[in-house]
Amino acid sequence: MRLTVAFAGIMLLVPLLLGCDATTRRPPAISYIPKAEPIPVATPVLDMPRTRNLPTNFPTRPLALPSAPPRRPNCASACVMDALTGRVLYSHNGNQRRQVASTQKLVTALVVLENGNLNKDVLIEPSDTRADPTKLGLRSGQVYNKGELLHALMVRSFNDVALALARDTAGSVPRFIDMMNAKARRMGMYNSRFANPNGLPANQYSTAIDMARCAYYAYRNPSLRSMVCTSTFDFTLANGRHVMLNNTNKLLNKYSWVTGMKTGYTNAAGRCLVSSGGVNGRHAIVVVLGCRPSLIWRESENLLKWALQI
């Protein structure tokens, strides 16, 4: 009799221990959570002093998430990020590793800005001139202002200028590459590996989300922000002749609310664009990678307008 009572008591406890109702013995309810690509939040700006002055046109309010997702972009990968908070609002193959062409010059620029005086002169060496196809035409023995070279790099994307800045900043291009990769890790770009300062085809890669992280940091640098939003730049050659450099980012001249960033193109990477814009204190960063030349501007524009709800 005692064994029967004990057995009955145990049978009553089993459903409770399993999370079931003792009378109905229904299995516990399971909430279904669909699989989704992880959306990381940008890391804090740890390597920037709090007292540093922010750019004048800086976001003051976070973006509101639109009620509906954007139309799927016609490109290999894309990312939309809140320039204030670092929140990823939209990602299309955002963690897909691929070459990003000249958009990685944003990383180059951040390393140059953090490791040298822009007022110093740069003496051009023969190794600086070996970069095709987009070149300013630097010649060995010429002398240029470092800040002027960096400005020209951001506006017109000259590959020989990237080599000169890298070699002058670090003493050698390989050492500069180490600095680029170290900077990328500090910015949380853990899916990126760079092999040159100009984005020409090599054993290197990044992702749409990682390049958005880079832009998030670039957005906080007043010097870089002023360069990437320049539509035309009056550059003085070593012989004293002036040339007007037109920005490769066509969205700058199309909309007043576009705040710049960086273009890129190689056969391996396709057409790439890191763009940004702001309206009423809210700013968005958009990265589009691996796009057809005829579609890059439209796809970037659509994502910017979706994020800014304009």
Kindly list the structural domains of the chain, giving each domain's residue range(s) and its CATH number in brackets, ordered by start: 57-308 (3.40.710.10)
Per-residue pLDDT averaged across 275-284, rounded? Answer: 96
Q: Which of 91, 105, 206, 300 is catalytic?
A: 105
Out of 19-23, 32-36, 128-132, 174-178, the most confident range is 174-178
Count CA atoms within 13 Å of residue 258 on its CB side.
26
Which is more confident, 88 or 51? 88
- Angle, helices 159-170/173-186, rounded to nearest 10 degrees: 90
Percent of the chain with pLDDT over 90: 79
Please say whether the beta carbons of 19 and 30 come within 8 A: no
Q: CB within 8 A of 275, min separation 6: which ones? A: 249, 251, 258, 260, 261, 285, 286, 287, 288, 300, 304
**Catalytic site residue 172?**
no
- Angle, helices 105-114/173-186, rounded to nearest 10 degrees: 100
Neighbours of 153 (CB within 10 A): 26
Is 41's pLDDT higher than 50? no
The pLDDT assigned to 133 comes to 87
As separate numbers, helices (DSSP H) first and strands (DSSP E) second, the chain gives 9, 9
pLDDT tens digit sequence for 252-270: 999 999 999 999 999 999 9
- Taking phi over 0 as left and psi of -120 to 50 as alpha, with beta for the rest, 240 belongs to left
Q: Which of 157, 192, 206, 276 is catalytic?
A: 157
**202 is written with which tokens?**
């090599």
**Catalytic site residue 300?**
no
pTM > 0.75: yes or no: yes
Per-residue pLDDT averaged across 188-208, rounded? Answer: 97
Q: Which of 77, 102, 206, 276 is catalytic?
A: 102
The pLDDT assigned to 94 comes to 98
pLDDT tens digit sequence for 138-151: 999 999 999 999 99
Q: By CB neighbour count within 10 A (0-12 exposed, 13-18 middle, 19+ buried), where does 141 fall? A: exposed
The pLDDT assigned to 52 comes to 53
Is 209's pLDDT higher than 90? yes
**Catalytic site residue 254?**
no
